[in-house]
Amino acid sequence: SYEEKLNTLIGKMIGDWNFTAYYYDSRRAIKSRETWVPMIILMGISTFLILNVSLGLFGVLWQNIQKRRPEIGLRQATGATRQKIYIQFILEMVLMASMGIFLGLLIAIQFPLLKVIDIGNDIFFKAMATAALIIYVLVVLCSYYPSRQASLIQPAKVLHEE
């Protein structure tokens, strides 16, 4: 084959040096696999963790709303609309997430400043902004259904139970 002839010819020319000639396509496929396999594994782990965090967040908000049923009933009895109650719970979760994101960014911002990770500042800051955006989207999505359920609570029933 062409590879064997080329290897033999170059081997005679350079003497004792060790080398092997490969087709670029085969080397590119190997390198591509070496890059993509760990990335796919990490994406799978990340997806699993994000799903677990989402379910936990959903459960915590659900429990919070169940504890606050009398408050919700009283607010509705005093004239709060369902939309205001719905928005209140979503905004509470967004505010809590904002505090967590602020603390996380405060720590994460140290990495590029101290040059702990060899990544360009622009990439690092874009990644932090993307992560914050993903967190906000998850918080709003996870708080949607429990907040909607809270807005549908009947004030007379809750106040009677209390």
Amino acid letter, residue 20: T
Tell me the H-state helices in 68-120.
69-77, 82-108, 110-113
Cα–Cα–Cα angle for 126, 127, 132, rounded to 5 degrees? 100
Q: What is the pLDDT of residue 20?
A: 67
Does residue 149 contact residue 84 with C-beta atoms inside 8 Å?
no
Give the mean pLDDT of the chain. Answer: 87
What residues does each domain of the chain span?
A: 49-161
pTM for the complete prediction? Answer: 0.73
Identify the residue with better confidence: 5 or 59: 59
Residue 112 pLDDT level (bands cut at 50, 70, 90): confident
Cα 92 versus chain centre, distance: 20
Is it the case that residue 127 has pLDDT exceeding 90? yes
d(Cα 102, Cα 150) in Å, to the nearest integer? Answer: 28
133 to each of 6, 12, 125, 128, 140, how far by Cα in Å?
Answer: 54, 60, 12, 9, 11
Over the stretch 49-77, which tens digit does the pLDDT of each residue have? 999 999 998 899 889 888 888 888 888 88
Q: Is the pLDDT of residue 11 over 90?
A: no
Mean pLDDT over residues 19-38, rounded? 80
Give the closest residue to 74 by CA, choosing from 149, 157, 144. 157
Among 51, 63, 64, CA closest to 138: 51
- pLDDT band (50, 70, 90) for residue 21: low
Max mean pLDDT range (1-10, 93-102, 104-113, 138-147): 93-102
pLDDT band at 159 (very low <50, low <70, confident <90, very high): confident
Is it the case that residue 47 has pLDDT exceeding 90?
yes
Dihedral sign (CA 19, 24, 25, 28): positive
How many other CB atoms are there within 10 angstroms of residue 136's CB atom?
Answer: 15
Report which of 65, 69, 73, 67 is spatially closest to residue 89, judged by C-alpha positions: 65
| Gap between the Cα atoms of 115 and 122, Å rounded | 13
